[in-house]
Amino acid sequence: MKIAFLGAGQVGAPIARHLADAGHDVVLAESREGSASVAAALQRAPKLRAAPADEAVRGAEVVFLATPFGANESVLRPLADALAGRVLVDCTNPVGAGLSHGLKSERAGSEYVQSLVPGAKVVKAFSIYGFENFENPAYPGYALRPAMLFCGDDRDAKARVATLIGDVGFEAVDVGGLAQALHLEHMTLLWVRMVRAGGGSPNLVWGALRR
Ligand SMILES: NC(=O)c1ccc[n+]([C@@H]2O[C@H](COP(=O)([O-])OP(=O)(O)OC[C@H]3O[C@@H](n4cnc5c(N)ncnc54)[C@H](OP(=O)(O)O)[C@@H]3O)[C@@H](O)[C@H]2O)c1
């Protein structure tokens, strides 16, 4: 697939690297001249390339959003036309004071993202774990892969994202429509409270068992 990344920091860079290694055509949007994160990602993964944001998005079928939540409006508004009809994978999390939900749990961050770019097909994914698990999603010795819960309203968009989740090394677990993103964002807060605030190991993921 042709994939673009808006944001190539702790979250964007490792996911971009895994997808390029899996054979996808991955371009990093140059958010600003001299972006340290884009330069570092390119140095670490020569298969990646960079392009101006508008060009990167227009050349992509799937676009990842991995910027600070507070930057989403300024990042997305100028790209609204370019994003129309494209899949937008929202990896961002609204985090408020005291590790609370940044939108007071009144609506999901992904619903807010969708409101900024009404023509895009927003899918929330790659959001529920710390970046360490995007760097290295392997949990050797288990029959299960780590579960990556994802949600969105467009069936075709979700099918594409499910493929990409698998290509990075997770089991894709579809949890429903975009309204479910609020609950994924609370799962993130649970993980962050356990690990970042509670002193737990970041090498912690959820597994999906079924019978
Ligand atoms: N860190 C985690 O463990 C984790 C896990 C899951 C989800 N998330 C979510 O993922 C998102 C990214 O987190 P991160 O840890 O990857 O952040 P990060 O390491 O700080 O990277 C942020 C990226 O966004 C770019 N950026 C920042 N401000 C921008 C702006 N105004 N316009 C355009 N680009 C801008 C940065 O580019 P420059 O280098 O040029 O500044 C960088 O490439 C956040 O919403 C976070 O909540 C984080």
Residue 53 contacts by C-beta under 8 Å, 6 or more apart in sequence? 6, 29, 30, 31, 75, 78, 79
Residue 204 domain-assigned?
no
- Do the Cβ atoms of 62 and 3 come closer than 8 Å? yes
Tell me, in angstroms, the distance from the centre of ligand 1 to residue 141's CA: 32
Residue 210 domain-assigned?
no
Confidence class for position 32, pLDDT limits 50, 70, 90? confident
Tell me, in angstroms, the distance from the centre of ligand 1 to residue 16's CA: 13
Please provide the distance, in angstroms rounded to a whole number, between the alpha carbons at the two ends of the chain: 33
Token pair for residue 57? 């998005």
What was the pLDDT predicted at 102? 98
Say whether pLDDT at 129 is over 90: yes
Residue nearest to atom 6 of ligand 1 (CA): 127
Between CA 136 and CA 39 the distance in angstroms is 21
- Cα Rg, the chain, nearest whole Å: 16
- Do the Cβ atoms of 12 and 28 come closer than 8 Å? yes
- Do the Cβ atoms of 127 and 184 come closer than 8 Å? yes
Domain total in the chain: 1
Tell me, in angstroms, the distance from the centre of ligand 1 to residue 75's CA: 11
Task: Compute the average pLDDT of residues 179-207.
Answer: 97
Task: Compute the average pLDDT of residues 136-157.
Answer: 98
What was the pLDDT predicted at 33? 81
Task: Compute the average pLDDT of residues 96-111.
Answer: 98
Q: What is the CATH number of the domain that holds 42?
A: 3.40.50.720
Buried/exposed 62-79: b ≥16 CB within 10 Å, e otherwise = bbbbbbebeebeebbeeb
Task: Compute the average pLDDT of residues 96-113.
Answer: 98
Residue 206 domain-assigned?
no
Q: Which one-letter amino acid corresponds to residue 108?
A: A
User: Residue 80: which domain range?
Assistant: 2-197
What interhelical angle do 109-116 and 181-192 show, nearest 10? 130
What was the pLDDT predicted at 100? 98
